[in-house]
């Protein structure tokens, strides 16, 4: 990737820095010789564990919450690059706690963007989700508004230098609360493995791949873009079957004895996901790694067209959905290969 020197001697802050994605961002950033990486999170135990694990004098552990504007403003003093990964992200929990989802995902994002503008941060990257495309649940709706707040800051900033962009991707394999650790735990107990719907499909990628592309997007961003990372599609039932075959013998079971039980969709859950809507696809550009959705504001759109990153061309896709015929759907053998990369 071309971002190796981009982070050298830079001061960087990662909100949600002790979470599944944020912590990998932090670990990877340390490889690029930054001046400092500030890890901002409200989980005292996780931030303590990460700080002790990394043992780097370039790490600054900051306990705080994005709902607290004064705290995030103080944390951003002297920062060059901000990755905003803090969010409430579990669909059912956001359905049952909608006001808290608004406080963190929307108002918290507003606090972060305001503070970033006040301190004239060089680049701000919001980590978003496929659930922001055509949202049908509270979590997706709050993340959609977080995206719009972020992109629209480029109109709001006046003559300040800060650029605001988003990166949108799907499910990251084996992160906390995701389906793989759930299935693995159920297999360890002898089953059953529970499915919400046997036809459910999801975009999936490894966390290392996700982080690499987030860094590349931050390097080439100029402000106002939504970067949509390309990833394969997995049928959740096939994932469950492959995992049973792989892990049942490790836990002393015959894989044929572990059953799969359909329990129905959870509140707010979709049968398939979209990473890009039909409207968004009309203006999208792509290379072999990602799509770029430039802003539709005339000034910023013209600026993007004059500076299209090398290798990107106008996309021919009409939509980017996990149930579309042209999606990169993994076979069971492909799922096995992907799992082997995680569980070496």
Paired strand residues for 12:
37, 81
- How far apart (Å, rounded) are the C-alpha atoms in residues 246 and 262? 20
Q: C-alpha angle with apex 167: 28 to 121, nearest 5 degrees?
A: 75
Instruction: Please report, for residues 19, 91, 177, 201, 323, the alpha-carbon distance to residue 238 in angstroms, rounded to integers and kept in the order given.
Output: 28, 22, 19, 10, 15
Q: Is 131 a catalytic residue?
A: yes
Spatial contact of 59 and 37, defined as CB atoms under 8 Å apart: yes
Spatial contact of 14 and 26, defined as CB atoms under 8 Å apart: yes
Q: C-alpha angle with apex 207: 92 to 331, nearest 5 degrees?
A: 85
- How far apart (Å, rounded) are the C-alpha atoms in residues 277 and 106? 21
Give the count of beta carbons closer than 10 Å to the beta carbon of residue 183.
Answer: 22
| 10, 89, 131, 143: the active-site residue | 131
Give the count of beta carbons closer than 10 Å to the beta carbon of residue 255.
Answer: 15
Helix (H) or strand (E) holding 15: strand 11-15
Q: What residues are labeled active site?
A: 131
């Amino acid at each position: 990737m071309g971002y190796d020197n981009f982070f050298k001697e830079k001061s960087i802050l990662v909100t949600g820095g002790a979470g599944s994605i944020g912590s990998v961002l932090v670990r990877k950033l340390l490889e690029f010789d930054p001046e400092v990486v500030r890890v901002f999170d409200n989980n005292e135990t996780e931030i303590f564990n990460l700080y002790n694990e990394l043992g780097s004098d370039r790490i600054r552990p900051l306990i705080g919450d994005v709902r607290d504007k004064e705290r995030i403003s103080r944390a951003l003093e002297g920062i060059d690059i901000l990755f905003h990964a803090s969010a409430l992200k579990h669909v059912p929990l956001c359905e049952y706690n909608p006001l808290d989802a608004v406080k963190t995902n929307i108002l918290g994002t507003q606090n972060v963007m305001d503070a970033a503008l006040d301190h004239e941060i060089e680049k701000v990257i919001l980590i978003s989700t496929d659930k922001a495309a055509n949202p049908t649940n509270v979590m997706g709706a709050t993340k959609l508004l977080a995206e719009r707040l972020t992109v629209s800051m480029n109109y709001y900033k006046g003559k300040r230098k800060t650029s605001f962009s988003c990166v949108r991707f799907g499910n990251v394999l084996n992160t906390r609360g995701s389906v793989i650790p759930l299935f693995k735990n159920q297999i360890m107990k002898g089953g059953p493995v529970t499915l919400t719907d046997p036809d459910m499909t999801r975009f999936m990628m490894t966390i290392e791949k996700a982080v690499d592309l987030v860094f590349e997007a931050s390097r080439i961003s100029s402000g106002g873009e939504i970067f949509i990372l390309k990833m394969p599609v997995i049928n959740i039932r096939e994932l469950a079957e492959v995992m049973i075959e792989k892990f049942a013998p490790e836990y002393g079971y015959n894989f044929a004895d572990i059953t799969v039980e359909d329990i129905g969709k959870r509140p707010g859950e979709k049968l398939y996901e979209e990473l890009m809507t039909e409207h968004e696809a009309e203006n999208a550009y792509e290379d072999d790694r990602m799509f770029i959705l430039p802003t539709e504001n005339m000034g910023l759109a013209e600026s993007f067209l004059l500076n299209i990153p090398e290798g990107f061309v106008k996309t021919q896709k009409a939509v980017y959905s996990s149930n579309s015929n042209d999606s990169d759907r993994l076979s069971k053998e492909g799922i096995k290969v992907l799992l082997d990369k995680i569980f070496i």
